[in-house]
Structure 1
Amino acid sequence: MNNIDQLPPERSIPTGRHARMRAAVLSAVAEPDVRRRAGHRRLPRRIAAAGLATVACAAIGWVGVGRPGLGPDPQVYALGDEVLSDNARTAGRQCLRTARDDGPRGPMINWPGDSRPTLLNYTEQPGSGGTVIYRAQSQLLYCLVGPGVIDGPEPREFAPGAWGVVSLGVLDASPWLPGPISVEDARSTDTSGGYVHAAGRVGKQVDSVVLDQGAGHRSSARIVDGTFVVFSAGRVKPGAGMLISYDAGGTEIDRRPALSQPVGRCYVDPSGNLVNPLAHQVYQDAYAKNPAACEPAVPW
């Protein structure tokens, strides 16, 4: 098993510096700075959006903010339970700035000055990118940062050069999940495989999530505060990517495609209402066919 979220030992941080470093980094990442940086530019759409969004958050905005300081091989530090590199701090500021940018359509998300967004999860995969998940009051912000994808025939490769904000999504933090796991942001470099990234939320009974890439290869998701993020360690075989959830005893409790929603399933809250955070048609179809066959939704 390839644990991409394995942290360096905390003892490598000099004694007395851990608390100060942690406070400084978390403060920097959560800084609600909305000023425009000089030199921002939009990447060509064939580069910025070539990673196919097969499962995506609501209100996705494609942007390019290439910056020489964001390279594909970061030095990662362990700060308590967080993985926060220089890339993480820069990515966090870029994501929040972009989400709060008052452009032609207005900001994607906003928050009061005395209530900064909370960083729920961050995972970085060298060469592939990094994802940050924030909570801003009743909303969740998913942001994928990394290299673009070279347009052309499959299999596609990542474009060399600077990293930037590849995609940004805002979603209401609904109190119910469509099953033990809710995949709320997922992308792949190819139509049904290639390099895969997935993120979302999990119920309390989920202790671990793995991305089964086919051919016996697996990557472990990082689960923090009811959220998960996972990157494939290599290419996923076309159509083979599966997210498998386990409880604390190692028993499998859910299995579903990494890049699509499970067909034929639906979930309802205690009032009998369909739980469908991203308004996926497959859940609506299953509910319309037979509401009584829907399974109970899972609280988050």
Structure 2
Amino acid sequence: MDLLRFPLVVLIEVFKYLDFKEKFLISLLSKKARNKLKLTSVSSDSLFNLSNKLFIRLGYYTEEHRLSVTKEKDYFIGKEVMKLGFHSKGVLLEEESFQKQLLLANHLLDTFRISAISVSFPYVTEPADVLEFFKMIKQRQLSIKSFYCRLDEVSSEFISKILDECTEVTDRVVTTVWFPDGFVYTPTRPFNATKLLVYGNSNWSNLESFMNCRYATVQLGKNSTRTAQFYNSFFTKWMDSGARLQRLTLRCMKEGIQHEIGDKWIEISRKNGIQFFVESATNYISIYTKQGYMEHLKEIEQRELAR
């Protein structure tokens, strides 16, 4: 019996009781099978974790949940042999080849309806591979919800293109990148992610382009060239802007700068009634809007109650 001949309304009910591996094996039958699966699947978020392996997960699960992966076997995808293991919500590719990882990612996107994508490059990655993955996502007109990558020193051209793509990420951007000395980045548009975390050296960063984020964290290296006057000027612009930014955290600050900022900005009340609050510690300083500070206190209270 050819299952794919059944009407869509029937297939929706049938596929509802199949696990991920069963659906994936059906997708290997033909392009028609992949189309049927996509038409009947429920839209979900997905995670693509690319390193020496490719881990793909569909749907949501808590950090406490650990996925058990089956023993790997060989499967043919696009005329390529791939060693795959499965878990309840996705698949693991035991291959270092980025082209094979990209091929499998394309296959999954052809098979399931994806609403938003989280992308992680947890180890030092070739910048060309990062851009190729971005290109694949944009061609499908999908949005990237969360993005994380680690890069060594690479050309300014590659870095600028990757950062340009990061401005379109919606929820969270985390970069650990060591930029060439003297590199300055002028964004094509402001960053829009709710949370933005910049690690590595950060003299390149234009803090004003972060004001459209809700929370921003910036690591300052030992060779930071920025002075207290630079930050005072930025804070004044931020306070008078009514921007979305509710908290800015500066980490590993140079001694002296932290003292000057901390002494001056512990409590800030503007003539227009806007208030800012400062949390200062040994290796960081956080500046909050009033709303951001109240949310911070609420989070602390909730953590205490959860103990």
TM range (shorter): under 0.3
Which has the greater radius of gyration?
2
TM-score by length of 1: 0.28
Compare the two structures and name the one with the higher helix fraction: 2
Bigger relative contact order, structure 1 or 2 (CA pairs below 8 A, ≥6 apart):
1
TM-score by length of 2: 0.27
